Amino acid sequence: MNPTLPLHLQVNGQAVACEADASRSLLEMLREDLGLTGTHQGCDTAQCGACTVLVNQRPVKSCNRLALQCAGQAVQTIEGVAPADGPLHPVQEALRAHHGLQCGFCTPGLVMRLIALLDEGAAPDEAAVREALSGNLCRCTGYEGIVQAALSLLQPLARDPA
């Protein structure tokens, strides 16, 4: 068994102290050590985007990031985007309103990617949204509802920049 090292980071706003060996992925740590199973494992080869989380507010495929690389960083998972008994995050609400939620396997990763997209000041056009989503594969849709959800959030921001 590989030796483990202590690891301190923030997950969903909470300080976390755990241990990880040099080969443990952030995805394994989140799901197996912290029980945050809303982050899904799809390809495990950095292609499908199902495992997307935010690290210091940037989208990261957690299957492709070592846990130890996240020392001292702030990780946000789907569990952290809205209270369990409260209102949905605006991205979740837009996906619901535009029928962008289907089987749900890819959905947590898409939500995290779209949250990052809003922060990036992306152009409010379909090409920019589809480019941003090119690393998040959804096997059961034509992406139409997902793209429309993203545009419904980006277009008001472009008209009324903060």
Residues that bind ligand FES (CB under 6 A): 41-44, 46-51, 61, 63, 102-107, 138-141
Q: Looking at beta carbons only, is 3 or 96 nearer to ligand FES? A: 96
Provide the minimum distance between the beta carbon of 149 and ligand FES in the complex, in angstroms, as a whole number.
12
Q: Looking at beta carbons only, is 8 or 99 nearer to ligand FES? A: 99
Q: Quote the CA–CA distance of 130 and 133 in Å, as a whole number.
A: 5
Provide the minimum distance between the beta carbon of 153 and ligand FES in the complex, in angstroms, as a whole number.
18
Lookup result for tokens 């020392």: 71
Provide the minimum distance between the beta carbon of 112 and ligand FES in the complex, in angstroms, as a whole number.
12
Going by their DSSP bridges, the two strands 52-55 and 74-76 should be labelled as antiparallel
Dihedral Cα 102, 106, 108, 111, nearest 10 deg: -80
Provide the minimum distance between the beta carbon of 27 and ligand FES in the complex, in angstroms, as a whole number.
6
Mapping DSSP onto H, E and C, the string for 132-147 reads: HHHHCCCCCCCCHHHH
**Sheet (strand 74-76) strand order:** 14-21, 4-11, 74-76, 52-55, 58-61
